[in-house]
Structure 1
Amino acid sequence: MSVPDSDVRSPSSAAQPVSAGIVTALVGFTSSFAVVLTGLTAVGANSAEAASGLLILCVTQALGMLWLSRRYRMPITLAWSTPGAALLAGAGTVGGGWPAAVGAFAIVGVAILLTGLWPRLGRAIAAIPSALAQAMLAGVLLPLCLAPVLALRDAPLAVAPVVLVWLVLQRYSTRWAVPAAFAAAGVVIAVSLVVGKVGLDASALLPGLVLTTPTWSWQALIGIAVPLYIVTMASQNIPGTAVMKSFGYEVPWRPAMLVTGIGTLVGAPAGGHAINLAAISAALSAAPTAHPDPWKRWRAAFTAGWAYLVLAACSAAVAALIAAAPVGVVETVAGLALLATLGGALASALADIREREGAVVTFLIAASGVSVLGIGSAFWALIAGLIVRTALHFRR
């Protein structure tokens, strides 16, 4: 998609993409940051390291958006890998602990870089049956999406207001349902802090990077890096290009992979697990609601980049607030944020009846959380699904 040299600006046309970009950033951040913090903590990060990861993810994706949207005059938006964060939450700690997880993040960055430089690698990922990749993702998401149910049973007074606000907004404004649920969770946390007379450490409210020297272990390579790369590519980058194409934009694949790969690699020591092309939230900046003129919608993504830099300054305070939350509240927000993703993954996994048996096996093993040889269930689920699929297709 080429862009003409002329780009006449009026006050009304300038305001529309700016507001769309701010909404893109706010929705993207508030709807899934709890999943990111949950995932980073699950693989061994302490509260400061998890806050650092959230900060660097905001910064790297913001810089990537600013450059890509300005350079190609397209509303190219980036995001952290929410499915990848959910995968981390299910993977748990591996041999080598947090430094090994950081090493796995760096490997994912290198793999994304190679995807941009070596087209065959991208084609190999695209060749993985979509049903199996989506079934693996659905299995990983299931325990997280069950969290609101369990939390509602164990702490109804703290969790019920969050669920109720989410349900009401689902009826009237789906886009803002999860951000509103987080706002309700913030009120619950504030009340608990006042009633419990517990203060927040002022130093924890200031953003800061905590660097970790990466180490490498084969458990982290197979149990974190491989499934994280597959999920990021299959559930974010490839669908992200499809979403953009539906609005008439052809994403420059190689530059996008190089930018996100470098961003992931640079952010890994600070705790960033992966950044990628936005998929669902991409429509907020690329749709006609961002601007009637498709040539001017790039400003929405450009504004979203600046908005993420502002949100980065608030990331430590948000992480500190989450750390002070009553038991079950954060898990509830994260689970509600992932319900739509779970529904989409299940629909894609079971859509083709010829792939259904392999997809069901993949889903069940991923959801089981079983760990063998220190490697999490996501990897074994994909292997088992491929074996079942191969056996059944050979029979047929």
Structure 2
Amino acid sequence: MNLKRNGALLGALAVGAMTLAACGSDDNSASGGADTSDSTATCEGKERLSGAGSSAQKNAMDQFVATYISVCQQQGTNVNVAYNPTGSGDGRTQFVAGQVDFAGSDSAITGEQAEEAKTRCVGGEAWNLPLVFGPVSIAYNLDGVDDLVLDAPTIAKIFNGGINRWNDPAIAALNEGTDLPDSAITPIFRSDSSGTTDNVQQYLGVAAPQDWTTGAGSDFTGGVGEGARGSAGVAQAVAGSAGTVTYVEKSFADQQGLNSARIDTGSGPVELTEETAAKVIDGAEFVGEGVGDLTLDLTSIFGTTEEDAYPLVLATYEIVCSAGYDADTSAAVKSFLTSAANEGQQGLTEQGYVPLPESFKEKLTASVEAIS
């Protein structure tokens, strides 16, 4: 993994990851047993932890908690982690106020809020630890076309009205030999405030800056198409109407049987798979160096041109104090996050997330261990 310092931090993941302040609120949970026999979680410290924030990571968090409880029960300890998916912004606010032990956030805590967190983290500061990753599909419903290639410029133009027909020359050039219909494109966007929207718009701003000039943010700025609420809502809208296209977490696209476009990053079309998403995570860079805060340089993800690396992957952070917890809380936070970063990753694929690559896991675990 490239850990070089990169001073450019793209704005916050306000999904923004697998979105979001609102996208993950749809029930898309799945469960699977994890092998906890080799867990390094100590199950020490206070028995009840609290967290709040990103709804995008709720299903992953449910799995982390269930796995952690199982690990500790095997050690003869009863524990629990109460996580409330109130949205990233609220989670950060509660964390700064000392109302929860950690926050889940689709964006790193930065600026004034990070400064305020230093008061809460007496003797320390807030660290952003990316723990949950999820790919986003450009999902479509087009009769007779089950393999479609798009690139960032064409995606940008589809969602801002610059391209409005499926046989547009720009799309045709990426899909030689495919019989594209001369029919209208209907973009479906999130009508609710969404981190998925923010991250997709950030991606377009990085990968197609000349074509996406309306900026990012939790609200859709493209100005065309039809809105639907929630991840389930946009996926259902596309499934029910030919000629439509949307952006949505892969698990929701899969549930509706939707096709996902391959994205050409300049090194050839890349299919959305666990392996291609993991590859871009493995190549991610950080704003800082060394052990500690792991705020991602999002340009290294969204702007990738690496072969077979899928660029539309969103990250969700756990925000913790580097120091300043009481001893029992510190021990419990470290134990829980250690479990989540290791055996907790098992089975995440079935829920539409991407398990952490080994090199990334090692970096994350080292930062967890450094919490004091």
Q: TM-score, normalised by structure 1?
A: 0.22
Greater RCO (Cα-Cα under 8 Å, separation 6 or more): 1
Instruction: Choose between structure 1 and 2: higher strand proportion.
Output: 2
